[in-house]
Amino acid sequence: MRCARAALDEIAARIRDRATGTSTSTSTSTSTSTGDFAAAGLGMGASGAALLLSELSKGDPGSRTTVHALLAAEAGFAGAKGSGLITGLAGLGFAAKHAARSLGDYATVRGRVDAALRHRLGKVLDAEYGRMESGVAGAGRENFDVVSGVTGLGRYFLAEPSGPEAVHDVLRYLVALTEPVKALTEPVRAGAGPLPGWFSPRGPPRWTRCGGSGCSTWASPTASPGRSRCCPCAGRADCASPAMTRPSAVSPGG
């Protein structure tokens, strides 16, 4: 436990060093990066660093200044990096929600992010339902995954202050992805027949053993789409859709 705490303190110190241009880290090494603060999202961006420090600031109020600086830095460009939770605007919104200690904290940035993400969610869902109704198999992972898709947006909308309607929209879509799509257009592969709605033909080569769909639950819902990441959280938050409890029409194994 002491080693884990020491590592956490060291990471936090390095983040503060990068954000403030000072040097408080106990390490003499300069080769370890704490992330690219010109990136966006929780993965490698400033909002990921802000999320960590905002949690630590509960016991160290002095970290709040760095949290503010990190959120302000990312607010200037996050929208240009996409809308994803791990790679874009939703990461900024999630970190700002976590950092807020009152309803007024970061109200402007949270309001703008929320409006932009609701617009993005609507566009993606309209396009995806149109695709499914047209019998076009092959869902783009970037549309449904946690990294850049609507599952990540669902997690953002679950965070307080939550957006129950948006969460339900996400869950309805993820459940719809468990239904088979009988391709009316040229089959994705010869003799494929009905394909699971989450089938994604554009998986990296190392994932082709799954029939073209990614095996990582971060990037694909091969364990049933929403159930892999978003649905358990929604269930705990009492935002679950009744359709989440029925069996998938197509087994995740395809």
The total of other beta-carbon atoms located within 10 Å of residue 8's CB is 13
| pLDDT value at residue 186 | 52
| pLDDT value at residue 185 | 54
| pLDDT value at residue 6 | 87
Residue 191: which region, alpha, beta or left (left: phi > 0; alpha: psi -120 to 50)?
left
Q: Tell me if 217 sits within 8 A of 228, measured CB to CB.
A: yes
Distances, alpha carbon 65 to alpha carbons 17, 194, 223, 227, in Å: 13, 54, 41, 37
How do residues 145-154 score in pLDDT, each as one tens digit?
A: 999 999 999 9
Q: Which residues of 148-168 are buried (b: 16+ CB within 10 A; e: fewer)?
A: bbbbbbbbbbbbeebbeebbb
| pLDDT value at residue 194 | 72
| pLDDT value at residue 189 | 56
Residue 99, burial from CB neighbour count under 10 angstroms (0-12, 13-18, 19+): buried
| pLDDT value at residue 25 | 52
How do residues 79-93 score in pLDDT, each as one tens digit?
A: 777 899 998 999 999
| pLDDT value at residue 252 | 32
| pLDDT value at residue 140 | 86
- The DSSP output letter for 90 is H
| pLDDT value at residue 126 | 96
| pLDDT value at residue 34 | 41
Radius of gyration for the chain, computed over Cα atoms and rounded to the nearest angstrom: 20
| pLDDT value at residue 234 | 60
Q: Which two tokens stand for residue 130?
A: 């149109």
Q: Which residues of the chain have pLDDT under 70?
A: 20-37, 78, 182-193, 201-254
| pLDDT value at residue 219 | 42
Q: Tell me if 26 sits within 8 A of 39, measured CB to CB.
A: no
